[in-house]
Amino acid sequence: MTVGPLTVTDLVVEFVHDGYAIRPLDNLSFQAQAGELVVLLGPSGCGKTTLLSCVGGILTPTSGTIRLGPTDVTGLKGADLDAYRREEIGFVFQAFNLIPSLTARENIAVPLILTGHGRKESFARADELLEQVGLSERSGHLPSRLSGGQMQRVAVARGLGHNPLLLLADEPTANLDHIQAEAIIRLLQGLRDDGRMIVVSTHDSRLVPIADRIVQMVPPDQHEERPTHDITFSAGESIFEQGDPADLVYVIKSGNVDVIRVLADGGEELLTKLGADQYFGELGPFLGFPRSASVRAVSDVVLTAYSPRVFREKVLHKT
């Protein structure tokens, strides 16, 4: 089994939600090789699942390219895209997403049957995979009669049904206790050792030690503590833009600013006007989210910039 490198270049995904543009992926680039277990690491909301959806060909990015070996995934359309998903990619969805009316064995076989494989062949493959994930004795059980770990193993087996080159797993250890998580991690390791490329999205650091490559979805040093300092902006100057990484909280010493939301159509919506002694930009650094609005100086302004920790101690708790 060989698969060419996975190359993600300048990937941008932008959604429009309630009229506002949200950009969960902003110029992301990385490369992974065959036989590697790639961990996409980051908090909720950082775009891990969006990236998996793009690599899996079920979401079209706004811009950028994804190549798997010679295949330009972002250039595939219609039947070619269906064939790519059907033949080259295996999915392990978050929360297992097993079909509740089907037994473990049928959950593996039915997708194969629906994609044109023979019934007998599909069930034989399901039996083989159930044995591989150590669940042969549970093959006739409905998902409701399986533990979380067992359901996840069935989900992995389903993802392997057509023997894909690339396995995409979304939070495969979420909601599992350490024993069940360990079994899944061991299973993923074994699959990687078979020469398959595995891309796992997770915020579970237990997967980090076995990863061959880690893609940090949020820059790791962005919350590094910076000293409190004053900063000056001239009238009309941008203090930060919507979607920028959030690191500092600002208190206005003098002058006025506008807080503006940039709309999907390129227009702008004024959210509020702020003046001396008011602060802005605190939620992004606290929560690890990018900036949700732009801030622009209306007059010449002097701001005091705080790290989130210092802001919390010196400003929030003081007030």
Partner 1 sequence: MLLLTFRDLVYRKTRFIVVTVLGAVVFALLFVMTGLVNQFNLEPAETVEQFDADQWVLPEGVSAPFTSVSLMPAATLDAVDAATKSPVVITRSSVSDGGTPEEVVLVGFEPGGLGAPKVVEGRVPEAEGEVAVGRTLDVDVGADITVAGEPFTVVGLTDKTTVLAGIPFAYLTLPEAQILAFTSTDVISSVLVSGELGALPAGLTSLSSDEVIDQTLQPLEGAIASIDLVRALLWIVAAIIVGAVVYLSALDRQRDFAVLKAVGASNTSLLGSLALQAVLIALGAVALAAVIQVFLAPQFPLPVTVPTSAFWQLPLLAVVMALAAGAIGMRKVLRSDPSQAFAGAGT
What tokens were used for 309? 């920790």
CB of 1 to partner 1, least distance (A): 19
Quick one: which of 21, 94, 19, 95 has its CA closest to 56?
94
Residue 316 backbone phi and psi in degrees, to 5: -65, -55
Q: Which residue in the set 12, 26, 31, 45 belongs to the binding site for partner 1 (CB under 8 A)? A: 45
CB of 116 to partner 1, least distance (A): 9
CB of 62 to partner 1, least distance (A): 12
The interaxial angle of helices 104-114 and 119-132, nearest 10 deg, is 140
C-alpha 221/C-alpha 204 separation (Å) is 19
Interactions with partner 1, residue window 3-42 (CB under 8 A): 13, 15, 22, 24
- Which span (90-98, 126-134, 206-214, 254-262) binds partner 1, by CB under 8 A? 90-98
Q: CB-wise, 55 or 239, nearer to partner 1?
A: 55
Quick one: which of 211, 162, 157, 213 has its CA closest to 6?
213
C-alpha 233/C-alpha 225 separation (Å) is 22
CB of 166 to partner 1, least distance (A): 13
Site string for partner 1, 63-82 (x = CB under 8 A): -------------------x
C-alpha 37/C-alpha 33 separation (Å) is 9
For residues 273 and 257, the answer to whether their CB atoms sit within 8 Å is: yes
Interactions with partner 1, residue window 107-166 (CB under 8 A): 110-111, 113-115, 142, 158, 161
196 binds partner 1 (CB under 8 A): no
Q: CB-wise, 14 or 258, nearer to partner 1?
A: 14
Interactions with partner 1, residue window 254-313 (CB under 8 A): none
- Which span (31-39, 51-59, 225-233, 276-284) binds partner 1, by CB under 8 A? 51-59
* Beta-carbon count within 10 A of 122 CB: 23
Residue 270: CA count within 13 A, CB half-sphere:
8
Residue 52, classed as helix, strand or coil, is helix
Quick one: which of 144, 213, 227, 226 has its CA closest to 5?
213
C-alpha 153/C-alpha 131 separation (Å) is 11
Q: Which residue in the set 44, 238, 254, 299 belongs to the binding site for partner 1 (CB under 8 A)? A: 44
User: Interface residues with partner 1 (CB under 8 A)?
Assistant: 13, 15, 22, 24, 44-45, 47-50, 52-53, 56, 58-59, 82-83, 85-87, 91, 93-95, 97, 99-102, 106, 110-111, 113-115, 142, 158, 161, 170-171
